[in-house]
């Protein structure tokens, strides 16, 4: 890994790295916040929250806007933020629109050409990146996952498709039923082709019924979110959960939109949710 920058933050460090991703056949960048506990005690490894960002974002948005580092430092929780797609692989059309191609990998494994060799963000997030981080940095294999919008979709499917891998899962304004929304339909048609049976394997609402693990889902959704009606459909996910008694908490937050102002307002609740599942001591209020 090549260290690109480091910033002191609440007694810990924010770092940004570049590495060659075999899964994606390109150079990738990711950010990590290491809490002070992982730096002060040689040999100590801390658990990790993986954060998956939304359309048009990269690894820097959450670190700069969410305001998560203070509480993460108190909890002893590392946070890893991958990018949202491969970059610079020079595929035709990859930069033509905000909701497909660059910045819009949708956390699936593409099967259609020319996307299949590179757009395998699911395998990168679930397998390659954690293996790299755990081998090179002072973090353990204990992990949780969260995300926003397209990344909320990614967090949900990663947890649902990998029982036992994550201790907890949460999401902000996730694309909860992508096979039934324009963002999801565009991405799935492009990356996965016309067979909608393949699409269903990447839709959290459709995965709930056969989930082999019933991790509680914590979801925050703003009522003033401009994408709520057309793209997000959290109620479909809640109905699917209720039909099979899958634990879910959907909190409709009055007046909040789709922005990082919304995420920053409730990120502490999500960090506490993950810290409890990871067995971390909670700060005294």
Q: What is the pLDDT along the chain (285 residues), one digit of tens a residue?
A: 999 999 999 999 999 999 999 999 999 999 999 999 999 878 899 999 999 999 999 999 999 999 999 999 999 999 999 999 999 899 999 999 999 999 999 999 999 999 999 999 999 999 999 999 999 999 999 999 999 999 999 999 999 999 999 999 999 999 999 999 999 999 999 999 999 999 999 999 999 999 999 999 999 999 999 999 999 999 999 999 999 999 999 999 999 999 999 999 999 999 999 999 999 977 655
> How would you classify residue 245: left for phi > 0, otherwise alpha for psi between -120 and 50, otherwise beta?
left
pTM: 0.96
Q: Catalytic site residues?
A: 149, 225, 258
* DSSP notation for 236-269: HHHHHHHHTT--EEEEEETT--SSHHHHHHHHHH
Nearest to 50 by CA among 178, 151, 172: 151
Domains of the chain, CATH where assigned: 2-278 (3.40.50.1820)
Q: Give yes or no for a cis peptide into 219 (omega within 30° of 0).
A: no
Q: How far is CA 5 from CA 14, 25, 125, 283, in A?
A: 8, 23, 22, 29
Residues 84, 260, 80: CA angle, nearest 5 degrees: 45
């Amino acid at each position: 890994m090549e260290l690109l920058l480091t910033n002191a933050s609440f007694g810990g460090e924010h770092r940004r790295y570049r590495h060659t991703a075999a899964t994606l056949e390109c150079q990738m960048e990711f950010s990590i916040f290491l809490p002070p506990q992982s730096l002060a005690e040689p040999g100590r490894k801390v658990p990790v929250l993986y954060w998956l960002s939304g359309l048009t974002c990269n690894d820097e948005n959450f670190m700069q806007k969410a305001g998560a580092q203070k509480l993460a430092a108190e909890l002893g929780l590392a946070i890893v933020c991958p990018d949202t797609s491969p970059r610079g692989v020079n595929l035709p059309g990859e930069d033509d629109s905000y909701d497909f191609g660059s910045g819009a990998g949708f956390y699936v494994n593409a099967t259609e050409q020319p996307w299949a060799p590179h757009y395998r963000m699911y395998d990168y997030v679930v397998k390659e990146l954690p293996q790299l981080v755990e081998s090179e940095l002072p973090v353990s294999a204990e992990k949780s996952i969260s995300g926003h919008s397209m990344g909320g979709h990614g967090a949900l499917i990663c947890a649902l498709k990998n029982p036992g891998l994550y201790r907890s899962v949460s999401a902000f304004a996730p694309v909860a039923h992508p096979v039934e929304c324009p963002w999801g339909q565009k991405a799935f048609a492009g990356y996965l082709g016309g067979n909608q049976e393949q699409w269903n394997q990447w839709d959290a609402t459709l995965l709930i019924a056969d989930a082999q693990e019933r991790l509680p889902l914590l979801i925050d959704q703003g009522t003033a979110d401009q994408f709520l009606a057309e793209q997000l459909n959290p109620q479909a996910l809640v109905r699917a959960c209720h039909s099979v008694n899958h634990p879910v908490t959907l909190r409709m937050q009055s007046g909040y939109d789709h922005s990082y102002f919304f995420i920053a307002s409730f990120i502490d609740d999500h960090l506490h949710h993950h810290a409890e599942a990871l067995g971390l001591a909670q700060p005294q209020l």
